[in-house]
Every structure is written in C-alpha cells, then in structure tokens.
Amino acid sequence: MSYPPQEYDESKSNTVVWTATVLLILSFVIGLLIFPPLYEAPKGEAASTVLFIGRFHPILLHLPVGALIVLSIMELACLTSTGEYRFGSAALLTLWIGAAGSVLAVLAGIMLSREGGYTGGNFTLHQTLALVGTAGVLLALCLRLYAMGQQNRELMHAYRAVFFGSFGLMSLGAHFGGNMSHGSKFLTEHAPEPMKSQMITLEKWMLSMVEPPKASANESKAQPAVEPVTPAPKPAPATSVEAPPSKTLPAPNPNLPPASVPSGKDKLVFQDVILPIFAAKCNKCHGEEKQKGDLRMDTFESLLIGGENAAEKKNNIVPGKPDESLTIQSIVAPIDDDVHMPPEGKDQLTPAEISAIRYWVQAGASATQKVSDAQFPADAKEALPQ
C-alpha cells in the first residue's frame, strides 16, 4: 500500500540523506574495527588522545537520548498519512541526528573503556545493548529512507517496529550504565513495590546471562576474611620459637617466608603495598579530584578520617580490628550489595589485595611499618611489590 497520490506526488529520493547515512554507517564500522569493544581489562596503556575523547562519553550520550525521545513523540504523530506528510521530513532529520549521536557516544564509550576498571555484568550489558541498539537505529534509518522513497506504508510500520525496539534496547543499556555509576539499586530503590519486584527480577535474569552465579562470587569474596586463620594451626609447632612476634590474627608464623620476598628495607607497607591498591581500584572515585561520599583514600590521614558514613564513628579504618573497619566491610561484602566497593562493573580487588589490606589493618594500620618487618599471610604474596 502506498500513500495517497494527492499527498505524495513527488518522488522522495533523499539522495543527500542517503549519502550522509552511508558515510555514517561506514564511520561506525571503521570505528569498531579500529577500537573493537573490550570485555576484559585492556592490555597496555591507551594513548592520551583516545582517553581524552573517551571522557566525552557522558556528555555525548545525552544527544542521542534527547533526539530519539523527541523522535518517539514525532513518530506517534506520523502514524497517519497526514501526519507523515507534515512531519515525515522533520522525523527523518531527527532520526539522523539521533543515529549520529548514538555512533559518537558508543565509539567514545569504547575509547573510555580503554582507561581500565570496567568489567562485570553491568558493563557487559551496557556496552552490548548500546552496540546492538545503535546498529538497530542505523537499520531503522535506512528503512525509513527507503520507505519514504517508495511511499510504502507497510515498510514504514516495519521501520517503526525496528526503531522502537532498538530504542528500548538502548534504554536498557543506559540503565546498566547507571548501575555502574550509582549502584544496582539506584533506579529501583524508590520504585512502587509491584514495579520494583518486576524490575529487579528482569535485571537479575539479564545479569545471570553474562556473569557467574552470585554465590560463587560471594564465596570468593568471603574467603580472604577467614583464610589467614585456617592455615595457622598446621605449622605452628614447627615455628613455635617465633610465636611472640605473631600475636595478630592474620600474621601466622608459617607465612614468614612470603614476607621476605620484597626487596628494599626502605619500602613501607602503606606507601608501597596498600596505597597502590587503592590508587588502582578506589581513587578514581575517592581521590584528590573526586570524593564520592566525602571519602578520600589517596592519603593516610584522609583514609583514617573516612567519609560521610565513617568520619563521626571513626570506623573507616579501626587499627587492629579489620572486621570493624568500614573499608574492609565494603570490599568483602557480596558484590550485589550496594555497600560493596568498588561498585559492580568496576575493577574488583583480588583475594591477595584484600588479604594484604586486612593484614595491614590487623597489624595496626601504621604509616611507618616497613615491608621487611611485616609478616604478610601467604595468600597476600601476589599483592606485594616485587
């Protein structure tokens, strides 16, 4: 079926728009070939120019969102032949702007991921749904152009089905991106109860397709908290002579050999072991330039002070008591808990890094303790400087 001839008596070839669309699709494909999507930590350091462009991702993504929301309203008006006649060209221009903005935002996001620290189910879904949604919007653009040229109403309906489906996928992807920045309960926390349960169920189902079962993740997080205790009884008789120095829980005598691995008597536990862990995994959100929750972790003094949840209680780091320290509680909490840090989708601390931090707190959270004097547990060896 075609549109009424009295309303569509001119051929709509849209040659200029077709040319621009083909160039846009080629740019998208070439961009993906140069910067293929990563789903694991990047190997090597990205160029400064790449990271500079990547950091425009949070700004660029608002362009396609706004354009495609406006287009969704316009398409409702274009459902009738009269509405299409009046607003079809404007809808096409809006669609092209939304498609171009989507391409720019996706490519900038992929460049931003080269910075590192982006992993997990939320990141996987955020990136994948954005890629599929953008490809769908580009396909929808081609379908609308062809339908307008052929004046074909049925093909226009197919275009709208592809467009709304693709925009829905992009919206879901944006939700998982929000989870990465604000935590998994950011959108659902204040939702009406019936809607809340449905949203959480759908989210968990989607995450289950791209990440291991939560139970496995929780077990691996819980292990570092008890591992330093379990090996202690076995070798104690053989090294009972050195028992007095090792009264702290995570510093059993059998682990003395790993403690001597690092070289250099001037290396300090906090400065050369603990602080680099925080710099790699925590300080993008809790450093000099950005302090989420008023928490800084880039200096010894600010770490002891804590943030908005710990400053008054002075329990961010409790010397000698890792289980009462808010930092330890956060890094060993289940990964799907909003208390867990770093947030899901960010680079997580390894068991060795958690064990090293626990030992440092248990040993008194000193700023001057030397690595050569420390008695790290064996499972912290991988986190020690070589």
HEC secondary structure over the chain: CECCCCCCCCCCCCHHHHHHHHHHHHHHHHHHHHCCCCCCCCCCCCCHHHHHHHCCHHHHCHHHHHHHHHHHHHHHHCCCHHHHHHHHHHHHHHHHHHHHHHHHHHHHHHHHHCCCCECCHHHHHHHHHHHHHHHHHHHHHHHHHHHHHHCEHHHHHHHHHHHHHHHHHHHHHHHHHHHHHHCCCCCCCCCCHHHHHHHHHHHHHHHHCCCCCHHHHHHHHHHHHHCCCCCCCCCHHHHHHHCCCCCCCCCCHHHHHHHCCCCCCCCEHHHHHHHHHHHHHCCCCECCCCEHHHCCCCCHHHHHHCCCCCCCCCCCCCCCCHHHCHHHHHHHCCCCCCCCCCCECECCCCHHHHHHHHHHHHCCCCCCCEHHHCCCCHHHHHHCCC
Q: What's the pLDDT score for residue 223?
A: 42
Buried/exposed code over 328-364 (b: 16+ C-beta within 10 A; e: otherwise)? bbbbbbebbbeebbbbbbbbbbbbbbbbbbbbbbbbe
Q: Tens digit of pLDDT per residue, the chain (386 long)? A: 444 544 444 445 689 999 999 999 999 999 999 999 998 878 888 999 999 999 999 999 999 999 999 999 999 999 998 999 999 999 999 999 999 999 999 999 999 999 877 777 888 999 999 999 999 999 999 999 999 999 899 999 999 999 999 999 999 999 998 887 777 777 887 889 889 889 989 988 998 898 776 544 344 344 444 344 344 444 444 433 343 443 344 443 334 334 344 444 578 999 999 999 998 888 777 876 566 777 888 889 988 888 877 777 788 999 999 999 999 998 998 887 778 888 776 788 999 999 999 999 999 999 999 988 888 999 988 988 87
User: 81-113 vs 15-34: helix axis angle to the nearest 10?
Assistant: 20
Going 202 to 206 to 207 to 208, the CA torsion angle's sign is positive
Q: Which two tokens stand for residue 234?
A: 């076995």
pTM: 0.64
| Model confidence pLDDT, tens digit, residues 308-337 | 777 777 889 999 999 999 999 989 988 877
Cβ-contact 363, 248 below 8 angstroms:
yes
Cβ-contact 175, 187 below 8 angstroms:
yes
Between CA 105 and CA 97 the distance in angstroms is 12
CA distances in angstroms from 6 to 47, 82, 84, 91, listed in the order given: 57, 11, 13, 21
Q: What's the pLDDT score for residue 290?
A: 60
> How many other C-beta atoms are found inside a 10 Å radius of the C-beta of residue 166?
23
| Model confidence pLDDT, tens digit, residues 51-90 | 999 999 999 999 999 999 999 999 999 999 899 999 999 9
Q: Which two tokens stand for residue 314?
A: 């002075």
For 317, half-sphere exposure in the C-beta direction (CA atoms, 13 angstrom radius) is 25
Give Rg (Cα) of the chain: 27
Between CA 326 and CA 306 the distance in angstroms is 9
Between CA 20 and CA 2 the distance in angstroms is 26
